[in-house]
Amino acid sequence: MEFEEKFQPINKPIMVLGTSSGAGKSLTVTAICRILKNLGEEPIPYKGQNMSNNAWVDWNGGEMAYSQALQAFACGINPSSEMNPILLKPQGNSTSEVIHLGKSIGTTTAKNYYKDWFFPGWEVIKKSLKSIYKRNPNCRLIIEGAGSPVEMNLIHRDLTNLRVAKYLNANCILVTDIERGGVFAQIIGTLELMKPEEKKLIKGIIINRFRGDLSLFEEGKKWIENKTQIPVIGIIPWLNDSFPPEDSLDLLERKITVTNPDIKVGIIKLPSISNFSDFDPLENEETILIEWIRESQNLSKYDFIILPGSKQTIKDQIFLENTGLSQNIREYSNNKGNIIGICGGLQMLGTTLEDPYFKEGSKNYCEQKIKGIGLLPLKTTFFEKKLTRQINSESIWPCQTEINGFEIHNGQTVLDDIQSSLKIKPIFKDLDLGWYKENNKGGSIAGTYIHGIFENDIWRDQYINLIRKSKNLPISNKKSISYKKKRESIIENLANVFHKHLNLKSFLS
């Protein structure tokens, strides 16, 4: 497919490519977005195609990757699915849900993706770019690549790296991660595999995650510049502030930083976990330690348990039963335990799960109706049409306060019998957004469809105080730092570090 047309934006886009996955493209784009915003420019983040189950819903109900939403926050603008026109959401067995411009349009196998979806994908990328520039003619796109731009078995069908770079004639930055070692080979190898017209687009190189004295890399910097004739525009030191990982496997690499915590939280590490950024606000609480639970165990050491969202709820519920974790959770509940489920986690806490359209993993097991954990008297049926929307509501429990968040789910959950209303109460004034039940012996079981529930500072503080009370700890009257303000602070600090060590002058002409 030749590039028969090119875009000529007023302000030349900057594209961040990487020598590998995990090189630091996402954080680099986030930092550049905030740097340019602070310089008075109009940056807009963009990633043509992303693969992630960590999603966000924009104000039109469109799904997009959370990383592009975070980058939009760095720009000081509302996220839009046009910033991530193709989102692939893995659902196991080498299949993914395909989302174009925020809307689910089908599923694909990895084997058939490029055959069936390449040309429609390229058209939707061009459509999104035209729409962005039509509304924001003076913007500067800050574009994130995906993985490596020179995967030779895929490069002829690569939608989101060099194809976009050439279409927009973008100024490209190549990022490499020195922490992993082998940066010289990564840089030279990546550039050698590019065509001459592609290599010409690379205007700068960033060495990321450097530990120690930056001056020690001066000889290495000179060697790279002499060999490639491309300037090294930045050597970025190792950063302490953490950001949401792009891949849920990175959760296992997070380092425990809390010492002497008041509260210990266990989060069930589901095989098909989704929207794990829901828990970032808890990680910013100084008194809370989070641990991820992957196998059957006595859960009594935890002060509360979280069942997170799931891309394949039936599949994950079967995992919980087969591993014994369902029984562990029931025993924990009987022992005054506190449990909260979010989206798929809410559904699993109910009595039954029915999947007539094979939307949630039942096809893999030939079981379209299964039992849930059974701690909340709720039944869920998964329908073909997905509900995606922003939420503005008001909570009733554990306090009355305004609530913001979003929904992404196929399931519809209702009370499973007439007597259920005597055992379970709504969490919100919108009655279908969540329920809770207090155990006779103490503790509570709660479930909500709202992603981002813990970003609501007053609600989070009151829920944590419930836990503190159950532990006979003093109620905390100290208002916690607003999570959104904390996120802003982290983005600003990130931008300051990058600005100090990164020379972007030649990219802004």
Catalytic sites, residue numbers: 343, 451
Cβ contact 320:349 at 8 Å: no
What residues contact 318, with CB distance under 8 A and at least 6 apart? 361, 365, 367, 370
What residues contact 190, with CB distance under 8 A and at least 6 apart? 19, 148, 149, 150, 174
Compute the radius of gyration of the chain from its Cα atoms.
24
Owner of token pair 């900057």: 14
User: Percentages helix, strand, coil for the chain, rounded to the nearest 5?
Assistant: 35, 30, 35
Cβ contact 462:398 at 8 Å: yes
Give the DSSP H/E element, type plus range, for residue 87.
strand 86-90
**Residue 38's Cα: distance from chain center in Å?**
25
DSSP collapsed to 3 states, 184-219? HHHHHHHHHCCCHHHHCCEEEEEEEEECCCHHHHHH
How many angstroms separate the CA atoms of 50 and 46, rounded?
A: 10
Structure tokens at 421: 């209303």
How many angstroms separate the CA atoms of 151 and 462, rounded?
A: 49
Structure tokens at 411: 């399931």
Q: How far is CA 290 from CA 162, 338, 403, 436, 463, in A?
A: 39, 15, 24, 22, 16
Sheet of 369-371, strand order: 369-371, 352-354, 378-395, 401-415
Whether the ω angle into residue 281 lies within 30 degrees of 0, i.e. cis, is: no
